[in-house]
Amino acid sequence: MIDNLEYNTEREHLIIPEYGRHIQKMISYAKSRETKEERNKVAKAIIAVMGNLQPHLRDVPDFQHKLWDQLFIMSNFELDVDSPFEKPSKEELSERPVPLKYPQNFPKYRFYGNNIKTMIDVARTWEEGEMKEALVYTIANHMKKCFLNWNKDTVEDDVIYDHLFELSNGELNIKNSEEDLTDSSSLMKASSGKKYSNNKKGHKKNNRNRKRY
């Protein structure tokens, strides 16, 4: 009896281990059938069992297509059967994917973030008028808030105007404007007030969970 024991090192390599040893043996049995009619019959039975093993795939589009592809992969592309889908090629699956090109953005003022630069680029495309002027001042106030979050001190409006002028390549110029931006203390108070509000809510929640004796 001991002589009939099988060790994993002596068994066939599992190409997709999630399906287990029995599915792999069934595929090997299908490959050993002499007639194509027999192989087709066994292959359809294997597909049905694979579907039962992964019921979550039933909601995935092209469910059957994925199972047939996995069947060919586990057969090492040696199973000659009639598939309702195009048979995948070993060369296609072994190809390395094309490396993704990550955006190489190195802004001069990183504390403003990429969203500010995007907003500035959009404002540059707008026609002159009240809407564009309102957008520009909104961007400037948001830049000031970002600056204060990074600096935690104060900043003069002229600094924000200069940065806005520079980031817009000189197209958004409000240096000579008589309108002031939001006061630094108000922006800092609004930011700190939001954090305090969140802490206060958490404090109340802790009080509700506290045991009373």
Residue 136 near residue 123 (C-beta atoms within 8 A): yes
| Orientation of helix 130-151 relative to helix 157-167, angle to 10° | 110
Q: What is the pLDDT of residues 123-162, one digit of tens each?
A: 999 988 889 999 999 999 999 888 888 776 778 888 888 9
State the pLDDT at residue 58: 65
Q: Which of 77, 70, 83 is nearest to 40 (CA)?
A: 83
Q: Which long-range contacts (CB under 8 A, 24 or more apart) does 26-32 make?
A: 27/71, 27/74, 27/75, 27/79, 30/75, 30/79, 30/81, 31/75, 31/78, 31/79
Of the candidates 47, 31, 40, the one whose C-alpha atom is nearest the C-alpha of residue 82 is 40
Average of per-residue pLDDT across 3-26: 80
Residue 211 pLDDT level (bands cut at 50, 70, 90): very low
pLDDT of 73 strictly over 60: yes
pLDDT tens for each residue of 156-204: 888 888 999 998 888 888 888 778 888 877 767 666 555 544 555 544 4
Helix segments in the chain, DSSP class H: 20-32, 36-53, 63-74, 90-94, 113-125, 130-151, 157-167, 184-209
**Mean pLDDT in the chain?**
80
Q: Take residue 48 and report the two structure tokens written for it.
A: 């049905």
Token representation of residue 37: 């009619």
Residue 155 C-beta-side C-alpha neighbours within 13 Å = 24
Residue 208 has a pLDDT of 46
pLDDT reported for residue 109: 81
Lowest mean pLDDT among 10-24, 75-89, 153-167, 196-210: 196-210
Tell me the C-alpha to C-alpha distance, in Å, between residue 137 and each of 141, 157, 193.
6, 11, 23
DSSP 79: -
Q: Residue 45 — pLDDT band, cuts 50, 70, 90?
A: very high
pTM: 0.46
pLDDT in the model for residue 41: 94
C-alpha to C-alpha distance for 129 and 194, rounded to whole angstroms: 34
Q: What is the pLDDT of residue 54?
A: 78
Which pLDDT tens digit goes with each residue over 90-116? 888 888 888 887 766 656 788 888 888
